Amino acid sequence: MATRVEVVRFLKGQRSIHLYKNLQIALADVLSAMPDKNYRYLTKNLIVIALHKTALGQAMFFPKPKGEIKLIEFHYRKELPLNVLRYVAAHELGHLMYGQLMPKKDHTWQNLENWADDWAKKWGFPKTKKIKTKLARLR
Ligand SMILES: [Zn+2]
C-alpha cells in the first residue's frame, strides 16, 4: 500500500481539487486502502477533475504526459457525506481498472458498473444500502 505521505503528495499535484477538502480526504482514504500495484497503475498519468455544482466550466493546463492519461471527474457537492464521497471515488477509480471506457466484446455497461463496484468493495468501500439511498435522492 502507498503511504499516506505519498498519497497526499499525489493529491497536492492535482490542480482541480485544492478547494474541496472532503474530496481530498475521500480520495486519500481510497488510494491509501488499495494494494500498491493498483495504486501505481491508477495514479500514473491520473488527472482528477472536480467542479462544484454552480460552475459551468473549468479551464486547466497540464504538463505534457508520457503515455495514456486517465481522468476522473467529480461534480462536487458540499452536502455529500464522506462515506458517499469515498464510495464514489472508489467506484470511479474502479472503472479505470477496466482499462477502457467502452465495454469490450461480450461485456455490457451493467458489467462495467458492477465491476467498478467490485473494485470499490475490494478496497473496502462497498455500495451499502445507506449509500444507495443517498445516491438515489440526488437524482
Ligand atoms: Zn459507474
The larger pLDDT score, comparing residue 84 to residue 55, is at: 84
Beta-strand ranges (E) seen in the chain are 46-52, 70-76
8 Å CB contact between 90 and 30: yes
State in Å: Cα 54 to ligand 1 middle: 23
The 10s digit of each residue's pLDDT in 40-57 is: 999 999 999 999 888 888
State in Å: Cα 95 to ligand 1 middle: 7
Residue 119 pLDDT greater than 90, yes or no: yes
* Domain boundaries defined on the chain: 4-58+66-138
Cell output for 87: 464510495
CA dist 85 and 24 (Å) reads: 10
Q: ∠ CA(84), CA(85), CA(88), 5° rounding?
A: 85
pLDDT of 64: 81
The 10s digit of each residue's pLDDT in 6-16 is: 999 999 999 88
User: Residues 122-126: what's their mean pLDDT?
Assistant: 98
State in Å: Cα 15 to ligand 1 middle: 23
State in Å: Cα 128 to ligand 1 middle: 15
